[in-house]
Structure 1
Amino acid sequence: MSKSVARLKSMKKVADKIDHSSKLRTNVPAGMAAAGPPLGPMLGQRNINIAAFCKDFNERTANIKPGIPLPTRVKVNSDRSYQLTIHQPPASYFIKQAAGVNRGAMHPVNEICGKITLKHIYEIAKIKSQDPPLEWRPLQEICTMLIATARTCGIEVVRDLDAKEYGEFLQERKQIIEEQKKMLQEKREAKMLRTA
């Protein structure tokens, strides 16, 4: 009997050492961490002091333009302290900024909503290579990943880009976006009529 008791105690010690806390992975706008949803409940579930976290995050991101989405990783320790890792903004954010568009294409397979050059891809890859998951990957591999991301956003990667032509393209694109918004609004209204 004493052997089984000793075995249970040793198993309990091992179980106590196991880390059951899940790492929090979310995007938080720079300088705008707040206690309200969606961030507050996520932190509360992990027993993190919400006010202290928000203050810490906002201080760390004070030098970044407010509102830029920052992929944030939080590892919770058993004593309720945490390790906060803030990555560079998502690749899609940089790609859309470089293309001068606010949103990706509605149908990326058939539609081009913007264009960027290979030089843009290279510059974004240099920034993204600072992120912990990518810091040991070669720039060429990061560039390939960025080209795939651009494609899923409906943004074409080209060798050269004429500023005047691209300006005209973006003007035409604004009209297309307005038409898409009207169509979506009409669909919403039709759906509401059907459910009423």
Structure 2
Amino acid sequence: MSKAGGKMKALKKAVEKVNHSNLIRTNIPAGMAVAGPPLGPMLGQRGLNIAAFCKDFNARTANYKNGVPLPCRIQVRSDRSYELTIHNPPATFLLKQAAGIQRGAMSPGREVAGKVSLKHIYEIAKIKQQDPPLQLTPLKQICELTIGVAHSIGLEVVREIDPEEYGEFLKNRTSVVEEQLKELQEKKEAKMLRK
């Protein structure tokens, strides 16, 4: 009996305490956390001090350019304290910045929205490797994932980019994007008329 009791005590010590906290996953623009929707209600439901959180977030993201989307994980504990983990900007944002475009392709695979070099892919992968979920992932695999993301938004991955040729491509692309936006607007207006 005492032998079994000793084993039970050892097992109880080995079992970790269960974490009953809430996890909030959201994207917050750097330096622009405000108490209004959607962030305010999300934090308010869990009883957090919204003003203190916004002040803390804005202070921690002061080194980023304002408005850069940052994926955040907020672990809310039962005593209403929190642990904030801020990741680097999403790969899609970084890729669009590297390509010098505002939006991806409407039909990826059939249209090229922009171009990025292998060096861009490597540098973005190095940035993304700092995020907690990817810290143990080999850099080669992160590069492959980044290339996949680039293709999904219509970016062509090339060895090198000729600046003059690419500048001409972006000028032509601007008119294509304007036509696509005009088509989208016409379709929306046509749907509104049907209702």
**Structure 1 and Structure 2 fold alike (TM over 0.5):** yes
For residue 20 of structure 1, report the CA deviation from its aligned partner.
4.3
Report the equivalent of 2:80: 80
For residue 22 of structure 1, report the CA deviation from its aligned partner.
2.9
Q: Secondary structure at the match of 1:23?
A: strand
For residue 18 of structure 1, report the CA deviation from its aligned partner.
4.8
Matched AA of 1:89: P
Q: What is the rounded CA distance, in whole Å, between the counterparts of 1:107 and 1:166 in structure 2?
A: 20
Matched AA of 1:117: S
Matched, 1:152 2:152: yes
**Counterpart mapping for 1:85-100 below 5 A:** 85-100=85-100
After superposition, give the CA deviation of every residue in 1:76-100 in whole Å (9 maximum; x if it has no partner): 1110000000011001111000000
Q: What is the rounded CA distance, in whole Å, between the counterparts of 2:37 and 2:18 in structure 1?
A: 29
Q: What is the rounded CA distance, in whole Å, between the counterparts of 1:21 and 1:187 in structure 2?
A: 45
Contact 2:88 2:131 in 1 (8 A): yes
Contact 1:21 1:46 in 2 (8 A): no
Q: What is the rounded CA distance, in whole Å, between the counterparts of 1:180 and 1:124 in structure 2?
A: 29
After superposition, give the CA deviation of every residue in 1:29-71 in whole Å (9 maximum; x if it has no partner): 0000011111111111221111111010001111211000001
Contact 2:71 2:89 in 1 (8 A): yes
Q: What is the rounded CA distance, in whole Å, between the counterparts of 2:74 and 2:172 in structure 1?
A: 43
Q: What is the rounded CA distance, in whole Å, between the counterparts of 1:114 and 1:22 in structure 2?
A: 40
4+ aligned runs moved over 6 Å, structure 1 = none
**Counterpart mapping for 1:104-115 below 5 A:** 104-115=104-115
Q: What is the rounded CA distance, in whole Å, between the counterparts of 1:82 and 1:172 in structure 2?
A: 48
Unpaired segments ≥5 residues, structure 1: 1-16
Matched, 1:178 2:178: yes
**Counterpart mapping for 1:20-31 below 5 A:** 20-31=20-31
Report the equivalent of 2:4: none
Matched AA of 1:99: A
**Counterpart mapping for 1:51-62 below 5 A:** 51-62=51-62
Contact 2:108 2:153 in 1 (8 A): yes
Q: What is the rounded CA distance, in whole Å, between the counterparts of 1:18 and 1:161 in structure 2?
A: 52
RMSD: 1.1
Report the equivalent of 1:131: 131
* TM-score relative to the length of structure 2: 0.89
* TM-score relative to the length of structure 1: 0.88
Q: How many positions carry a matched residue from both structures?
A: 179
Q: Percent identity?
A: 66
Q: What is the rounded CA distance, in whole Å, between the counterparts of 2:22 and 2:106 in structure 1?
A: 34
Matched, 1:43 2:43: yes
Q: Secondary structure at the match of 1:36?
A: coil
Q: What is the rounded CA distance, in whole Å, between the counterparts of 1:178 and 1:108 in structure 2?
A: 17
